[in-house]
Structure 1
Amino acid sequence: MLAEIDTWVLDLDDTLYPSSNGLADQMKALIRGILSRHFGTDDAGARRIQAELIAAHGTTLRGLMTTEGLAAADILEFEHHIDYSVLRADALLAEAIAALPGRKFVFTNGSAYHAEQALARLGLSDHFDGVFDILAGQLIPKPYPESYRRFVEQFSIDPSRAAFFDDLAVNLDVPEQLGMATVWVGGEPAPGTAPYEVVAPRRWRVWELAPFLHSLTAPAVRPSTM
């Protein structure tokens, strides 16, 4: 399975850890706090402004820099107030990622600082060859094609030999168009469902990441000759 893959590209938030730990909710609340203070509005107003910024500019960060002239460092300072202790080391996932052949990268719409903090808590810091963050993408996030092109160029990726993992299906459209295998991570399977399913050639839907990754490198079981 995926024997031709030698480059593994994984999203961070809600992919390398489950959404149930509330880390993403923390980040959303902190960003809304920035908007509330800057625009002098309540949480409902912050939500509306955020939706408008994302719709027009792709991310709140890029929108605030473009429309309000704020510096990236000043906006991303909120990450220093995230409680990363909600993340736990995942030995099974670490083992599965370590066993994958070839290079491994994190591709995140967050910052490199955020990725470093999260990967350290997850026990995955030593298992990746690089992090491509929102600043490396020149503030253009997934799912915009320019972001993926910059990533491919920066790390000399051969898309036909790469697999891209993300919790948002929309973020897999461009990788698929580029020729990558794609893996949609997350969601709730039906009772008794296997940890993953094959959606189409070189396309998977995965509910449990570690078991899926282990299945890619597990030795084939030979039938007994006795």
Structure 2
Amino acid sequence: MLADINTWVLDLDNTLYPPSVGLADQMNVRIRAYLANLFGADEAEALRMQSELVAEHGTTLRGLMNTRGIDPHDYLSWEHTIDYSVLRAGSVLAAAIRELPGRKYVFTNGSAYHANEVLSRLGLSALFDGVFDILAGGLIPKPYPDSYHRFVDQFGITPERTVFSDDLDVNLSVPYELGMTTAWMTHEPSADGTPYQQLGPKRWQVQDLPAFLGYLVSGGS
């Protein structure tokens, strides 16, 4: 039952803010620049390598660690060059998260540094009980099961009483299998104009995150 939910897990990038702000574009530009420098590749080749690494290993970082043995901290240093000023605080989202009963966590394939910068710009830093980043996950990213199991163990999560939201549907498969309620954050307007739709038991598609969270807080009524 929705009334039994006591833990809320939210992805960071393209979930707590829409893709239209362009932060993910900045990140991809810097990842490809890193690849171009590492391999002496041009932009087109760097894009191809990035796509291959993500497809085969889940993230570019994991792929480079598996195939090149790179230092993850050296790789993640590009996060310090991102222009986070494109993010703006929103009172509606902050109010919706503040009203959530129980514990609230950010689960991201990025670093804690990146998460803290994003949360600070969005005015959400004080609203979360913790951040589970790629380093906390032992450098194993979503959607690999080990990452979720580490998260559940670290914070003592009861999956059946947890809502997990992410902008990538593939990242919701393991949470759903564990018994969590999942919310696929699309940001795209629905055909009928509604802010969220139930796809099945414990499965939702969401266009408006504050509206959806408000619905769950109300007990699903």
TM-score normalised by the shorter chain: which range applies? Answer: over 0.9
| TM-score normalised by structure 2 residue count | 0.95
Alpha carbons 1:2, 1:202 under 8 Å: kept: no
Counterpart Cα distance in 2 of 1:136 and 1:103: 18
Matched with 1:117 is: 117
Does structure 1 retain, via aligned residues, the 8 Å contact 2:32–2:46?
A: yes
Identity, in percent, stands at 62
Q: Which residue of 2 aligns with 1:210?
A: 210
8 A contact 1:88–1:121 mirrored in 2 = yes
Partner of 1:43: 43
- 1:133 aligned onto 2:133: yes
Describe the SS at the equivalent of 1:29: helix
Identify if the C-alpha distance between structure 1 residues 48 and 210 changes in structure 2 by more than 3 Å, giving closer, same or farther. same
Q: Which has the larger radius of gyration?
A: 1
2:96 matched to which residue of 1?
96
TM-score scaled by length of structure 1: 0.93
Distance, in Å, in 1 between the alignment partners of 2:146 and 2:167 is 20
Residue identity matched to 1:36: A
Match of 2:166 in 1: 166
Alpha-carbon distance, 1:220 to partner = 9.4
Root mean square deviation, CA, Å: 1.6
Name the CA distance, whole Å, in 2 between partners of 1:50 and 1:175: 26
Distance 2:65 2:128 in 1: 30
> What SS does the aligned partner of 1:100 have?
coil
Once the two structures are TM-superposed, the CA of residue 190 in structure 1 deviates from its matched residue by: 3.7
Structure 2, unmatched stretches of 5+, are: none
The equivalences for 1:1-226 within 5 A come to: 2-190=2-190, 192-218=192-218
**Paired residues, number:** 221
DSSP 3-state at the match of 1:3: helix
Shift of 1:186: 1.2
The amino acid across from 1:177 in the alignment is E
SS class of match (2:15) = coil
Deviates more, 1:191-200 or 1:113-122: 191-200
Match of 1:224 in 2: none
Cα distance per residue 1:166-199 (max 9 Å; x no partner): 0111111110000000111114224551111111
- Aligned-residue offset at 1:109: 0.6
The DSSP-based 3-state class of the residue aligned with 1:113 is helix
Write the deviation string for residues 150-173 of structure 1: whole angstroms up to 9, x where unpaired. Answer: 100111101011110001111111
In the alignment, the residues of structure 1 paired with residue 66 and residue 192 of structure 2 have an alpha-carbon distance, to the nearest angstrom, of 48
Deviation at 1:212, TM superposition (A): 1.3
8 Å CA contact 2:103–2:128 kept in 1: the answer is yes
